[in-house]
Chain A
Amino acid sequence: MKSLFARLASFCIGLSLVAAAPVVAAELAPDALVKRVTEEVLTIVRADRELQNGNTRKAIELVDTKVLPHFDFMRMTRLAVGRDWKKATPEQQKQLADEFRKLLVHTYANSVTAYRDQKIVYKPFKAADSDSDVIVRTEVVQPGSKPIELDYALEKGADGWKVFDVIVGGISLVTNYRETFRQEVSASGVDGLIKMLVDKNRKLEADTGKPAAKK
């Protein structure tokens, strides 16, 4: 009974935050922003059996509307491509960013559906007011194993703080692609890399359509 009440309460808090979101977002401190978005998403996942059962399409929708507005995909893609970024024309850069975005959304959506009953702990946040790049650290706590560090790198932009990297257990989800991308560019150029990403996304898209993907 108590837990039902607690859930209801957090749901209401979640709702009120959603309603207030557009107004506050720009002024939120980075740690508050991470916390708000995380809680918002988790509240939705906890209440939705379809998401818990691995409905990727639904998870993608959730990530698209709640999480992505806070991400800076141009910067993420630039970081993932690394040195070869300058070899790409502005048109190619845009294509790369679009495709990389699709790939990351899929990854993020899968993590959302993998969520069970883990608790998220927000670590103390340290940053000077003048910092334009900061890290917000959280921890995923689960019974029977060591907590997993889940950190977000954010950058101050014109319209508030934007996430440009997600770091899980020290693994940067963005720079982890660098070696794969670098090899592809050196083998078949920037267009080769774009094609590789397009093919990957096409395959993911096709797999998502199958009912078998629902576990």
Chain B
Amino acid sequence: MKKQTRRGGRWYAPLLLAVSLAGISAPAAADNPKDPFEGFNRVMFQVNEGIDEVVKPVAKGYDEAAPLPVKAAVGNFFGNLYDAWTALNNLLQGKPGAAGSDAGRVLINTVLGIGGAFDVASEMGLAKHSEDFGQTLAVWGVDDGPFFFWPIIGPRTTRDTFGFAVDSWTDMVWGLDAVPLRNSLGGIRFIDVRASMLPADKVVDEAAIDKYSYIRDAYLQHRQSQIRDGATQLPSYEDDDE
């Protein structure tokens, strides 16, 4: 758990307590079985929107200042570190073929892609996958459980919250012993991830009538698709066609 608190859990702990109390007393229109703690989650969502007021301008600055090749290299670098974890998860999900391909990607991109800065493997036809421990748990038969909206971390089902804890525990960046390097890399990655979501911001802001539920339901749909590995499936339209 040490690594978890390192992530910055300490400073927002009192805040967490305060808003959770507020959340529990807030009137909730909680009739959605997937989201029994909607009142609490909505408060957390607002907290995150507040945090984003600070993070977003930084991400925007990075996005405008860094040339595309630099941004691509940064994304590739962290992606390459993550591919190793994807490989292991694919193995745990009983997909040795995909696991082998992911391990090959790490090898190729680390060596030929200069430490992961270039995604040579994709150009060679080894498609990038994205697996995490939450997906592995899902494949093993663990259900979603209630939905949560966490500060900084964002939306997660109960299962994916546990999955995320394991992902972070094994995370190479957070496992570094050199603290300044670890913090810099962690910070850059955080901003890079945020920057990659900038184009979607306006789309979501304008598409959503109720931003909280729009993001929640998009997250839940997206996770289902990831667990199925994006296999073609018409979304469930069961309520209508007759």
Contacts and interface: CB of A to CB of B under 8 A. Distances in A.
Q: Which of A83, A110, A117, A186 has the most CB of B within 10 A?
A: A110
The list of the 5 closest CB pairs from A to B, nearest first, reads: A170-B225, A144-B75, A144-B72, A143-B72, A82-B239
B206 A110 contact: yes
Contacts of A53: none
B76 interface: yes
Contact of B225 (A117, A169, A204): A169
A54 to B, nearest CB: 8
A107 B203 contact: yes
Interface stretch (A13-21, A24-32, A173-181): A173-181
Contacts of B68: 117, 143
A144 B71 contact: yes
B75 A145 contact: yes
A71 to B, nearest CB: 15
21 contacts: A83-B240, A110-B203, A114-B200, A117-B68, A143-B72, A144-B119, A146-B79, A146-B128, A167-B235, A170-B224, A170-B225, A170-B226, A170-B228, A173-B207, A175-B221, A179-B32, A179-B216, A179-B217, A180-B213, A186-B31, A207-B206
Contacts of B76: 143-144
A73 to B, nearest CB: 14
Contacts of A135: 232, 234
Given A106-B206, A111-B203, A137-B232, A145 B196 contact: yes
A109 B199 CA distance: 13
The DSSP consensus for interface residues of chain B is helix
B235 A175 contact: yes
Interface string A106-128: 11001100101100000000000
A107 to B, nearest CB: 4
Contacts, number: 111
Interface of A: 54, 78-79, 82-83, 85, 103, 106-107, 110-111, 114, 116-117, 133, 135, 137, 143-147, 149, 151, 153, 165, 167, 169-180, 183, 186-187, 196-197, 200, 204, 207
A79 B206 contact: no
Nearest to B82: A146
Nearest to B29: A183
Contacts of B199: 114, 116
Interface of B: 29, 31-32, 68, 71-76, 79, 119, 128-130, 196, 199-200, 202-203, 206-207, 209-210, 213-214, 216-218, 221-222, 224-226, 228, 230, 232, 234-237, 239-240
Given A144-B196, A183-B210, 19 more contacts: A83-B240, A114-B202, A135-B232, A143-B71, A143-B72, A143-B75, A144-B75, A146-B128, A146-B129, A153-B234, A167-B235, A169-B225, A175-B237, A179-B217, A180-B209, A180-B210, A183-B31, A204-B206, A207-B206
B224 to A, nearest CB: 6
B119 to A, nearest CB: 8
A170 B234 CA distance: 9
Contacts of B129: 146
